[in-house]
Amino acid sequence: MKTTVYVLLVLICLTITAFYFLNGTAVITAEPVASLPESPWVLSGVEDTSGAELFASCASCHMADGSGRSDGEVPRLAGQSEKILVHKLQKLRDGSSYLPVMVPFARALTLAGQNQVARYMAGLSNIGLTVEAGLNGHHEVPSAYQEYCAGCHGSVGEGNDALLAPKLCGQHSTYLVRRMTEIKQNIRGDADAAMISVLKTVSQNERQEIAQWLEAFQCTAGQDSSEQLHSGSKS
């Protein structure tokens, strides 16, 4: 009895299949696959599309525009010096800088890719920064910054490639305060001895003042730093 029922079911299935086949109709018509959305980590409209795609793995933390996070966990990379960025990536690749979360990303890049993604990040603009957002409305350089930082990082934090001193202006103040503490304690194992020595003499209040002023000041590559400071002081 069971065998007879099974045979009948098979014959019914074959008959239905033959009917649709002979009439030119597919038995099952698949719905079209929905198109995947564009990646939120790749900026649209950029000229260096391959650079943007390389940066996509970084952008999940640093954001597609390189703006980072204001809570101090992730720095702003947009507009940083290309030479500085390459140097940082190289230290992560060779293990001289201890930052486990970043090492796999740095080592996944070829040397050519490393240079390309650094060039791409350097070309991103510092979005949404204005000198009008200065510390309590004042734009004068804090005396602590002049004393401890300007000699290497520039009069307005524009950085110095020759000294491998990164650009600091426009960086999130919370990140800057955190990094000053990390450098003082040499947490990453690659801190400059002179920086450690200097930061041991800078009070917490001074670090906060320096960081807030740097965050508020937007320096532009190619513009004279004294001119920027002068124009910022007018507002």
Distances (CA, A) of 132 to 139, 215, 218, 232: 8, 11, 10, 7
What are the domain boundaries of the chain? 46-128, 129-235
6, pLDDT greater than 70: no
| pLDDT grade for 63, boundaries at 50, 70 and 90 | very high
Higher pLDDT, 78 or 221: 78
Please determine whether the domains at 46-128 and 129-235 fall in the same fold group of CATH: yes
For residue 30, the Cα-to-chain-centroid distance in whole angstroms is 41
pLDDT per position as a tens digit, 14-23 = 565 555 555 5
12, pLDDT greater than 70: no
Q: Does domain 46-128 have CATH number 1.10.150.250?
A: no
Higher pLDDT, 234 or 33: 33
165, pLDDT greater than 80: yes
Higher pLDDT, 25 or 101: 101
What confidence score (pLDDT) does residue 223 get? 40
On whether the CB atoms of residues 82 and 166 are closer than 8 A, the answer is: no
- Please identify which residue in the block is written with the tokens 């602590």: 144
Mean pLDDT value across residues 5-17: 54
Q: Which CATH superfamily is domain 129-235 in?
A: Cytochrome c-like domain (1.10.760.10)
- Please identify which residue in the block is written with the tokens 């999940």: 60
Distance, in Å, from the CA atom of 69 to the CA atom of 62, rounded to the nearest integer, reads 7
